Amino acid sequence: MALEAQVELESVRGSRRLDLQEFILGNRKTAKADDELVTGLLIPKPSANAFGAFEKLGARKYLVISIVMTGVVAEWNEDQRIGKIRIAVGSCSDKSIRLEKLEKECEGKRMDQIRIRTEHLENLSPIDDIRAKADFRLDVVSELILRAVRQTS
């Protein structure tokens, strides 16, 4: 999602493209119709000054199921300010989502000026499960986002 990927779908009715965020509807649910096939995943070429990072918190290093995960792609200007940023969070809602309010807030700022507030995380709806409590996920996600942003600078 942070890469602004699109999914290409085809059927006898024709083809269409959906942003990955629109394609994934929820846990094991997609916008793919019964008669469609996924024929491509399109990832735009990032600019030369764009860098990405992924942070994950899980019970074990190689365990597939995460407690929280974040993906960040940021373009940095020559004056060390963020020109464009995309922030995606997984395992904190029924599907991975982008934090568009936080993205807008970060643009034009230096790393030391980024502050993550409660309203930036309001679209997240983590659950309590065997891996972690919802409150813990919300506490951790801000730190993982900041770590990922730092890695891109």
CATH number for the domain spanning 120: value is: 3.30.390.50
Indicate whether 35 and 62 sit together in one domain.
no
pLDDT of residue 135: 95
Per-10-residue mean pLDDT, the chain, length 153: 98 98 94 98 95 90 81 96 97 95 97 96 93 94 97 94
Indicate whether 35 and 54 sit together in one domain.
no
CB atoms within 10 A of CB 32: 15
Task: Give domain status of residue 114, yes or no.
Answer: yes
Indicate whether 68 and 138 sit together in one domain.
yes
Q: Which residue segment(s) compose the domain that 12 sits in?
A: 6-42
Indicate whether 54 and 37 sit together in one domain.
no
Closest CA to 47 of 86, 19, 94, 7: 86
Stated as kind and residue range, the H or E segment containing 152 is helix 134-152
Close Cβ partners of 84 (under 8 Å, ≥ 6 residues apart): 50, 74, 75, 107
pLDDT of residue 63: 62
pLDDT of residue 27: 87
133/131 Cα distance (integer angstroms) = 7
Task: Give domain status of residue 31, yes or no.
Answer: yes
For tokens 């269409």, what's the residue?
16
124/91 Cα distance (integer angstroms) = 9
Give the chain's length: 153
C-alpha distances out from residue 29 to 8, 25, 89, 95, Å? 16, 5, 17, 9
Task: Give domain status of residue 90, yes or no.
Answer: yes
Domain count, the chain: 2
pLDDT of residue 61: 66
Indicate whether 76 and 100 sit together in one domain.
yes
